[in-house]
Amino acid sequence: MGRIFSCVIAFAFGVSGVRAQVFGFAAEGVSSGKASEYVVVADGFWKNQFYRDIESKRNAYTQQPTARHNWPRFITNTVASVGMAYIGKTALKAIINEERPDHSDNKSFPSGHASMAFAAARSLDKEFRKENIWIPIAGYTAATAIGVERVVSDRHHWYDVVAGAALGFGASELIWWLSDELLGKGSDVVVGSSGQTVDLKYSF
C-alpha cells in the first residue's frame, strides 16, 4: 500500500539557535491498521535526530544536547594562535627595545607570556563557551594570573602585560576568523540506529 505523508514545519527560536520541528504522519494501509509518526528535532548548534515513535519525540525535549567538538580544528587553531602571538611579540620586542623593570635586558614590551597565555585562553573561549562558560573563565583567570606574576616579579611593566594580552587575544581572533573563512566552520555527521530510533546528528 502507498504511504501518505503530510508535514507541518514550526520554527521556534531559543538560546541555542533556531529549532525546526518537522512532523510527518504515515498511514501504513487499511488492512494493517498501523500508523507511525516521524519527527525531526533540528537544532542548528547541536544535533539533528530522527525519531520513529511518539515516545522518542517526547524524550527529545527532556534530554540535554551533547556538544560536539572538532578537536583537530581546535588544536590547530590554538597552536596557530599561540604561534602568531609569539611571532608578534618577538617582532615588537625587537622594534621597541624597552628596558625591563629589573634592568636585565631591553625586551620588556610587550609581555610574551601574557600574549601567548591570552591567545590560548581566547581559543578555549571560542571552542567551549557555548558548552561550559567556566572553561573560558578558567582560561582567562590563568592568563591573568600569569600576567600579574610577570609584573610582581619585575619582569614587566603593567602596560607590557596589557599590550601582550591584547596581542594574544587579537592573534587568536584572527586565526579563528581565517579558519572559518578559508575552511568553513566544519561539519560532523553521524548516522546510527538503536532498534526503534534512527539518529542523524551533525555539528557545524
List the domain boundaries for the chain: 7-67+186-203, 71-183
Evaluate if residue 162 carries a pLDDT over 60.
yes
pLDDT interval class at 110 (50, 70, 90): very high
pLDDT interval class at 200 (50, 70, 90): very low
Distances (CA, A) of 198 to 26, 40, 66, 192: 16, 10, 17, 6
d(CA 156, CA 29): 79
Q: At what angle do helices 112-128 and 134-152 cross, to 10 degrees?
A: 170
d(CA 131, CA 124): 11
pLDDT interval class at 172 (50, 70, 90): very high
Evaluate if residue 89 carries a pLDDT over 60.
yes
d(CA 53, CA 17): 25
State residue 4's pLDDT score. Answer: 37
Evaluate if residue 43 carries a pLDDT over 80.
no
State residue 50's pLDDT score. Answer: 57
- Are 93 and 112 a contacting pair, CB within 8 Å? yes
| pTM of the shown model | 0.61
State residue 181's pLDDT score. Answer: 92
